Structure formats: C-alpha cells, structure tokens
C-alpha cells in the first residue's frame, strides 16, 4: 500500500504544494496541526501507524523530510523505525529514500537525510537566537517593553494563536495536561487558561 503524507501547521494553510502527482497512491493523508506533535500522535499520522502495525504499508512518500518530525531526533527515529520495518520512505524535495529497489538501505540518502535534519534543527535555533538578540538590543535602547501591564487581549485573539489552537485540539482528544505540556512545551497555566476560555 502506498501513502502520500502531507502536513501544514493550521487549517488556513493550503497543502496543495505538497500533494502534487498523487496518481498510484492508495491514500493521500493531510494533517493540519503543529509539527511539534509527534507523527504518530497526529490524526492522520496515527492512521499511518495503524497501516504499519497491520503490515499493510509498503511505501510512504512526503514532500520534504521535515514532515516526519520537527527536530532531528524525531525525524531520525521515524526514518529508522520505518527502515527496520521494511517500509520505503521517499522524500521528494530533495530526492531521498531509505531503501533501494532491492530493499537495502540507501546509504547516500541516509547520510543526506541526517545532514538535512541537523541543518534544519540548526536553522531553527539560529532564528530563535537572532530573535532573542534583537529583543535584547531593543530593550537596551528602551524600544522593547513587551506587553504592557494592565493591557488585555481579547478571548478570541488569545484562542486564535496557533499554540492555543493546538491545545484546544489536544484537550478535545482527551489528553492530560502533562501530555500536552510534553507535546507542545507549554505551561499548565496556559493549558488551564485555554480550557477555561474555550
């Protein structure tokens, strides 16, 4: 069974770019959720896991390798798990695959995938570093003060924040606060506030 998998971060985002050339696939599955949620815990990702556990999935294709996870460890873990189970993973951009036509590990793709995942992780940490550096410089000049004391944010605007939308979805799925904290890296107070306001 062949599956094409796509993920975008929110309902408003369009997955069309990621789901081109769908001929020959048994399923085209699209998740609209944060990449912070592990692949097997996403709605469509859990369907893929069921196909793997039932030994029905032979081929999983993604537009880019970061669709499998948000950080290097997640991506490498999924890649390794699928390789061990004999499921061919094909990444379209750049062109990588875990197994060759004979079912043997594709060593070049393994090396490239590891490098690309590490670079992606590194890029995210650099973005965060630059953001914090910019905030520090603006604070020194008195131009950055953060949210002012006494100001309020509307309930609607608060609940429309991407992380808060993910919290709502996870709460609806019946996850515990500790599980949501682990998945999204947020505080229990934020989860409580989202639950009270939603």
φ, ψ for residue 79, nearest 5 deg? -55, -45
Inter-residue contact 99 to 85 (CB < 8 Å): no
Angstrom CA distances, 171 to 12, 38, 45, 85, stand at: 20, 16, 18, 32
Inter-residue contact 68 to 113 (CB < 8 Å): no
Residue 54 annotated as catalytic: no
Identify each DSSP E strand in 33-160 by its residue range. Answer: 59-62, 88-91, 96-97
Which is the catalytic residue, given 9, 64, 77, 120? 9
Inter-residue contact 97 to 109 (CB < 8 Å): yes
Instruction: Return the sign of the alpha-carbon dihedral for residues 115, 117, 123, 126.
Output: negative
Distance CA 182, CA 85 (A): 27
Distance CA 171, CA 103 (A): 41
Inter-residue contact 62 to 32 (CB < 8 Å): no
What residues are labeled active site? 9
């Amino acid at each position: 069974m062949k599956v094409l998998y796509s993920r975008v971060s929110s309902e408003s985002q369009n997955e069309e770019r990621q789901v081109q050339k769908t001929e020959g696939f048994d399923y085209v599955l699209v998740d609209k959720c944060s990449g912070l949620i592990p692949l097997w815990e996403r709605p469509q990702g859990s369907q893929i896991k069921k196909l793997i556990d039932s030994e029905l999935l032979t081929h999983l294709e993604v537009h880019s390798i970061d669709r499998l996870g948000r950080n290097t460890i997640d991506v490498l873990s999924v890649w390794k798990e699928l390789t061990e189970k004999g499921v061919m993973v094909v990444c379209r951009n750049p062109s990588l695959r875990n197994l060759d036509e004979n079912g043997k590990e594709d060593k070049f793709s393994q090396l490239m995938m590891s490098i690309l995942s590490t670079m992606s992780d590194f890029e995210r940490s650099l973005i965060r570093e630059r953001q914090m550096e910019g905030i520090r410089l603006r604070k020194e000049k008195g131009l950055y003060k953060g949210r002012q004391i006494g100001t309020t944010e509307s309930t609607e605007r608060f609940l429309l924040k991407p992380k808060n939308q993910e919290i709502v979805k996870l709460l609806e799925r019946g996850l515990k606060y500790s599980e949501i904290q682990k998945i999204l890296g947020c505080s229990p107070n934020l989860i409580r506030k989202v639950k009270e306001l939603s």
